[in-house]
Copies of this chain bind each other. A is one copy, B any other.
Amino acid sequence: MDEANRTEIASLGEFGLIEHLTKNNETRQAGTILSIGDDAAVIDQFGRQCVISNDLLIEGIHFDLMYTPLKHLGYKAVAVNLSDIYAMMATPTHITLGLGVSSKFPVEALEEFYEGVYAACEKYNVDLIGGDTSSSRKGFIISVTAIGEVAPDKYVTRTGAQVNDLICVSGNLGAAYLGLQLLEREKKIYLENPKVQPDLQSQKYLVSRILKPEPRADIVEWLQEHGVMPTAMIDISDGLSSELLHICNGSNVGCIVHEDKIPIHADAKAMAMEFGVGSAACALSGGEDYELLFTIKQEDYEKIVRNKDISIVGYITEKSEGAHLLTNGGNKHKLTAQGWNAFI
């Protein structure tokens, strides 16, 4: 390779890189309905549709074993993949698991990891059908593929949002990010003085949000039961801003988000204050919440407000109006994707 023509991965960013590498991707199979570019792919299997998502989790990049119990890690590895399937309004049915582990891990460590995997499989009623394990030179590497099903053309992509649609969010945002900051702070204190044992009991909620996220199966079921078909949907892994921009870019629209409508847990507000950061900023750019972000038609408003776990945070506008946040102070800020970028 010519070093003079070297392009750094960081210069494209995670999403830019995938787009760059896959822009010439051709599809040959008639059964390929939705390819690269959404939470999951959709393939036609003999008249019904199969939804597939794949994630790679790497120690030191996606998790820190210093404060992540292996059982939680196993649970989370499954949970975040199922979240991608639910984000298509589909139902996960199966997963495969590939592990790379260095010899520093004893069999007992893998047993703990698998306990978490099985717990998530049981809770979300999916079967583990493939388990491959090999060694790695360093650290712990996890690859999960999740497979789900959906009735023909009942899946929801990122590309269907229309002007005047309402923007909805499940649960609350920013707590996982603050839980992570808390764990990072306690790790630092511990490394400086191993005699100080962290007391995280009082922050159980924030810590659980980062260590044991739950995909929102309940929200997808509720929407299906109440006949609400979102026009676009995505799960929030990289922060509200980044995900909203995915929907806006994919759907060719703009948006307005009201800062005061963003759902934030009381514990997250208190911790944001302790860290001296805005809690809305944590929600917008924090990531790892694994809540659902979706848009609905205005006519579904009456139905949606009945679910106390869904917040309407704004609405879709013409593309020309851009994507903006209306702050509590009445200012209008352009939304930017400052979400977690694995390449920085």
CA distance A28 to B128 in the complex (A): 10
Taking a contact as CB atoms closer than 8 A, the residue among B9, B12, B36 that contacts A131 in the complex is: B36
CB contacts (< 8 Å) of A59 on chain B: these are 137
A18 → B minimal CB distance (Å): 6
A278 on interface, CB distance cutoff 8 Å: no
Give the segment of A38-46, A219-227, A309-317 that binds chain B. A38-46
Q: In the complex the two chains form, what is the Cα distance from A20 to B108 in whole Å?
A: 11
A94-B29 in contact (CB<8A):
yes
**Residue pair A56, B130 in contact (C-beta under 8 Å):** no
**Cβ-closest chain B residue relative to A7:** B107
Q: Is the interface of A mostly helix, strand, loop or mixed?
A: mixed
Residue in B closest to A39 when the chains form the complex, CB atoms: B130
Chain B positions within 8 Å of A11 at CB level? 107
Question: Would you call A107 and B17 a contact (CB within 8 A)?
Answer: yes
| Complex contacts, A130 vs chain B, CB 8 Å | 35-36, 40-41, 52-54
Interface-located stretch among A142-150, A165-173, A256-264, A288-296: A142-150
> In chain A, residues 128-169, which have Cβ atoms closer than 8 Å to a Cβ of chain B?
128-139, 141, 143, 145, 147, 149
Instruction: List the B side residues contacting A132 at CB < 8 Å.
Output: 18, 54-56
Q: Is the CB of B9 within 8 A of A129?
A: no
Among A48, A122, A134, max chain B CB count under 10 A is at: A134
Q: Provide the A1-37 mask, 1 if CB < 8 A to any CB of B, else 0.
A: 1000111111110100110111011111101101110
C-alpha gap A56/B128 in the complex (Å): 16
Q: How far is the CB of A122 from chain B (nearest CB, A)?
A: 8
Looking at A96-104, A181-189, A330-338, the stretch in contact with chain B turns out to be A96-104
Identical copies in the complex: 2
The answer to whether B36 touches A129, judged by C-beta atoms less than 8 angstroms apart, is yes
B129 and A52 contact, CB distance less than 8 A:
yes
Minimum distance in angstroms from A36 CB to a CB of chain B: 5
Known contacts A9-B135, A32-B94, A108-B7, A128 near B25 by CB under 8 Å = yes
A61 pairs with B129, CB closer than 8 A: no
**Chain B hits for A32, CB < 8 A:** 94, 127, 129
Which chain B residues lie closer than 8 Å to A43 at the CB level?
Answer: 93-94, 129, 147
Q: Determine the chain B residues whose CB is within 8 A of the CB of A41 once the complex forms.
A: 94, 96, 129-130
- Chain B positions within 8 Å of A99 at CB level: 56
Q: Beta-carbon contacts of A93-124 to B below 8 Å, as 1s and 0s?
A: 11011111101011111110010001001100
A66: chain B residues at CB < 8 Å are none
A134 vs B143: C-alpha distance in the bound complex, in angstroms? 12
Mark A residues whose CB is within 8 Å of B.
1, 5-12, 14, 17-18, 20-22, 24-29, 31-32, 34-36, 40-41, 43, 45-48, 50, 52-56, 58-62, 93-94, 96-101, 103, 105-111, 114, 118, 121-122, 125-139, 141, 143, 145, 147, 149, 342-343
A-B contact sample (7 more), CB < 8 A, given A1-B106, A9-B110, A31-B93? A7-B107, A9-B101, A9-B135, A22-B114, A32-B94, A54-B145, A141-B141
30 A–B contacts, CB within 8 A, in A order: A7-B108, A8-B103, A8-B106, A8-B107, A9-B105, A9-B106, A11-B107, A14-B134, A21-B110, A21-B114, A21-B131, A24-B118, A25-B128, A26-B118, A26-B127, A28-B126, A29-B126, A35-B127, A35-B129, A40-B130, A41-B130, A46-B46, A52-B96, A54-B130, A54-B132, A56-B99, A56-B134, A58-B136, A135-B343, A137-B138
